[in-house]
Structure formats: C-alpha cells, structure tokens
C-alpha cells in the first residue's frame, strides 16, 4: 500500500500530537457540560478513538453513517443518512468528529439536521481541513491541520474502501485513482 502513496503528510506521531492538542482545547471548552461526541462513519473512527482518549471530561459517544461520495473521489452533493443516532441529543452539547472537511456540503446537511433536534450547542472538530475546496458556508471550530487540495488516504480516510488502515495520512498517487 505504501507504494501507492506520493508522500506522507502526517506521521503517526504528528497525528497523536494533534489529538493531544485538540483534546486539551475540547476539555477546557466542555468541562462540566453534557457533551455528546458524534463520529461520522466510517472515516472518523480512528481519529475519534484517539481524540476522545485525550478529552478529560464526561462525555458520551454516538455515530452517524452518512454518504455523499458513493465510491468516487468527489462528493456528489447528495447526502444519504445510512445510520442515524441511537439516542436523543436534545439539550446537549454536540461535537461532530470528522476526518476531513472539504466541500462542506455533507457537514452542512448534518449540522442543520442536528441543530433541528434542539441541541444546546453544536461544533465540529476535524483532523484535516481543505479550505480551498469549500462550497458550503461551514467551518470547524477545532482543526488539526489544513492541507493542500490533494487526494489523501490513511488513518480512516479511504479510496474505494481501501487504505483506511494506514497509521498515517498520505497523498495517493493520481495514477492509482485516475481512469478507474
């Protein structure tokens, strides 16, 4: 798999440092609140697992499975909820945990849906941010790293469901996904 990468953008150590830093910020901001961390499957699973270990306050977790890529490298803009939350978030402080924020169309739809459920507050934490790709008016409060507009895989991020198990984030060589 490593041969399919052009370069490594974030090493395992750099990712863990980001988790420690973001965890400390989130701990400070949510101490004493009724925090629900919502992971967006499947990509956020690895980041969420490492991040919540660094949040030193009471919290609960839940997951949503939402799709807008349908197997390709570009978001279709059509958001499908494949798995909704398992419990109510009314009157709770919600933190959406995402692997990458690109166009923002998927997260915009998710945030509008979750806000309609009468939450106290709603914020987003993302490991990676590609601000140059933004189409929707949405930003994450907590950002691990801003990255260039390249196709990235690893640490939960995939291409056609592969590469999620890499322990770091790298850019995929274009010849791997072009003409497929």
Catalytic residues: 102
Cβ partners under 8 Å of residue 91, min gap 6? 34, 118, 119, 120
Give me 143's structure tokens. 């950002």
Q: Is 2 exposed, middle or buried (0-12, 13-18, 19+ CB in 10 A)?
A: exposed
Return the sign of the alpha-carbon dihedral for residues 40, 42, 43, 46.
positive
Closest CA to 155 of 176, 170, 134, 143: 170
Residue 11 structure tokens: 């090493």
Give a three-class secondary structure readout of 25-86: HHHHHHCCCCEEEEEEECCCHHHHHHHHCCCCCCEEEEEEEEECCCCCCCCCCCCEEEECCC
């Amino acid at each position: 798999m490593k041969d399919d990468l052009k370069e490594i953008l974030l090493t395992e150590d750099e990712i863990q440092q980001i988790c420690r830093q973001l965890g400390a910020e989130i701990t400070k901001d949510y101490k004493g609140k009724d925090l629900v961390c919502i992971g967006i499957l499947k990509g956020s699973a690895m980041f969420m697992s490492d991040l919540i270990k660094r949040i030193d306050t009471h919290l609960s977790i839940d997951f949503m499975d939402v799709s807008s890529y349908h197997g390709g490298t570009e978001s279709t803009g059509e958001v499908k909820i494949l798995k909704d939350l398992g419990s109510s978030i009314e009157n709770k402080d919600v933190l959406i945990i995402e692997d990458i924020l690109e166009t923002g169309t998927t997260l915009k739809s998710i945030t509008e849906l979750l806000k309609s459920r009468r939450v106290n507050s709603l914020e987003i934490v993302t490991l990676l941010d590609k601000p140059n790709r933004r189409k929707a008016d949405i930003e994450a409060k907590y950002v691990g790293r801003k990255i260039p507009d390249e196709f990235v895989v690893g640490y939960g991020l995939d291409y056609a469901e592969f590469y999620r198990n890499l322990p770091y984030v790298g850019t995929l060589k274009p010849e791997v996904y072009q003409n497929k």
